[in-house]
Amino acid sequence: MAVCSGTGMWQDIKEKGVLAMVQGLSYEDSVALTQANGTHNYKPLPVNVARGDGALLWDTDGKEYIDCLGAYSAVSHGHLAPTVIKAVRDQLDRVTMTSRAYYTSEVALFLHGVAEFCELDMVCPMNSGAEAIETCIKLARKWAYTVKGVPADQAEIIVFEDNFHGRTTTIVGFSSEEGYKRHFGPFTPGFKVIPFGDIDALKAAITPNTAAVLGEPIQAEGGILIPPDGFLAEVRRVCTANNVLLCWDEIQCGLYRTGKKFSWMHEEAKPDLMAIGKALGGGLLPVSAAVGTKEVMEVFQPGDHGSTFGGNPLGSVVALAALAEMETANYGERVTRLGAMALDFLLAMPFKQVKEVRSRGLLIGVEVDETVDVPALTAQLLANGLLTKQTRQRTYRLTPPLVITEDQLMEALRRFEKSLAAVVG
Ligand SMILES: *Cc1c(COP(=O)(O)O)cnc(C)c1O
């Protein structure tokens, strides 16, 4: 097919329909159109995915891959999860999108179900993870001014180095990753960045104007960084002692990714406020939420916040089906068992070039040292039918859908070992 970035193809899309067009497009066509007409804010692996099923993906040439990225934990249920798809099918005969200008029973049940699942009181539905974090920031600030009594515009939020909370201008403003921020200032004030895992730095950073501590219990994008034992519980104690809200970002590490429902549950570290997203959408739709205690959440009054698609009937049934499936299919037990198997395998690999394996459940990072040719390893993995990307340069993530079978997981690990062997000689 002739690729054009100018005229002609839109007419074909209209007349032939998307499905017919998709079937006629080659790998080269897809890359060329993406490059010509899409902004270049991603650098995809050289693979054009055509189909998925569970933990497997197939490209347009029919080659099979094990998906070890899992859309950054958004497809924990696997590709085309049957129970989630059924929930969508059933809802498509009813109503899909109303906005929050009306009540719907689907949204009502979503709000109740998510609150109970999260063991908190109230829910503000959004779409993307970044929106859920922005919602938490607004809630924490309004709580600081109207409940805690912080003077106007003085509220501070403490965050951690190597955080990742999304890509809005406010959020990248408190990132410690230069590449996320460069050329995007000026940034929103009111954030203090302290080292992750350092409880003394936290104590020193708190002032009477501190509204909240915002952090990930495990920093996923930061390189699968796990804080010292006891840190999460200590953060909870320090927040309580200082009348500061604790807000955990569970968007990636939550919803059984680490074997527990939420990763703060590995310790006594229950938050006042929490952001969830990614797997909440069952791999089908963007669904996120800020969830919290009544004391915090009830600061929002009509008009304070909103989102046109946030809290729609279709997204609500998808999320409820996604959460139900996690408990019905006992994700916690599976993930703990599979995660232990994976860790055993990775620690037994004979390569001195593996600097560290950091993992909890199926949130796994394998850091390779400077001698490893990272682009060559990524290419080897792809050639061997394992899809993943590294984060922070040298940490390969193995974060497959949580429904991956034991056989598929072992096969993925063997492919990883084989690829590494090929690169390090
Ligand atoms: C992915 C992610 C986000 C942002 O979610 P988006 O849906 O991409 O906006 C926020 N926090 C964490 C920990 C994430 O992994």
CATH number at residue 35: 3.90.1150.10
CA distance 275 to 282: 16
Q: Which of 276, 305, 328 is the last residue of a domain?
A: 328
- Verify that 93 and 199 share a domain, yes or no: yes
- Verify that 188 and 294 share a domain, yes or no: yes
- Verify that 285 and 408 share a domain, yes or no: no
pLDDT at residue 96, rounded to an integer: 97
**Strand partners for 276:** 289
CA distance 252 to 282: 13
The answer to whether the CB of 10 falls within 8 A of the CB of 35 is no
Residue written as token pair 């897809």: 30
CA distance 341 to 354: 18
Q: Which residue CA neighbors atom 10 of ligand 1 most closely? A: 165
DSSP string covering 267-301, please? Answer: SS---SEEEE-GGGGTTTS--EEEEE-HHHHTT--
Is 235 domain-assigned? yes
Question: Which residues make Cβ contacts (< 8 Å) with residue 350, sequence separation at least 6?
Answer: none
CA distance 215 to 192: 12
Q: Which of 301, 328, 355 is the last residue of a domain?
A: 328
Question: Which residues make Cβ contacts (< 8 Å) with residue 104, sequence separation at least 6?
Answer: 95, 98, 313, 316
Q: Which of 328, 358, 392 is the last residue of a domain?
A: 328
pLDDT at residue 393, rounded to an integer: 87
CA distance 76 to 9: 35
CA distance 282 to 329: 14
Is 150 domain-assigned? yes
Is 39 domain-assigned? yes
Q: How many CB atoms lie within 10 A of CB 137?
A: 27
The answer to whether the CB of 229 falls within 8 A of the CB of 218 is no
**Strand partners for 387:** 67
pLDDT at residue 8, rounded to an integer: 77
Q: What single-letter DSSP state applies at residue 63?
A: -
- Verify that 154 and 187 share a domain, yes or no: yes
Q: How many CB atoms lie within 10 A of CB 26?
A: 13
Domain count, the chain: 2
- Verify that 31 and 75 share a domain, yes or no: yes
Expressed in angstroms and rounded, the spacing between residue 345 Cα and the centre of ligand 1 is 29
CA distance 93 to 81: 20
CATH code where residue 147 lies: 3.40.640.10
Is 363 domain-assigned? yes
Is 3 domain-assigned? no
- Verify that 311 and 387 share a domain, yes or no: no
pLDDT at residue 392, rounded to an integer: 86
- Verify that 283 and 293 share a domain, yes or no: yes
Is 180 domain-assigned? yes
Helix (H, G, I), strand (E, B) or coil at 347: helix
- Verify that 288 and 412 share a domain, yes or no: no
- Verify that 238 and 355 share a domain, yes or no: no
Structural domain including 389 reads: 22-80+330-424
Residues of the chain with pLDDT under 70: 1-7
Residue ranges around ligand 1 (CB below 6 Å): 72, 128-130, 133, 164-166, 216, 220-221, 249, 251-252, 277-278
- pTM for the model stands at 0.97
Is 406 domain-assigned? yes
Catalytic center residues: 164, 249, 278
pLDDT at residue 6, rounded to an integer: 53
Expressed in angstroms and rounded, the spacing between residue 271 Cα and the centre of ligand 1 is 18
pLDDT at residue 7, rounded to an integer: 61
DSSP string covering 195-228, please? Answer: -TT-HHHHHHH--TTEEEEEE-SSBTTTTSB-PP
Choosing from 134, 167, 273, 278 the residue with most ligand 1 atoms within 8 A of its CB, the one to mutate for a pocket test is: 278
- Verify that 120 and 225 share a domain, yes or no: yes
CA distance 100 to 370: 52
- Verify that 234 and 292 share a domain, yes or no: yes
- Verify that 45 and 73 share a domain, yes or no: yes
Is 4 domain-assigned? no
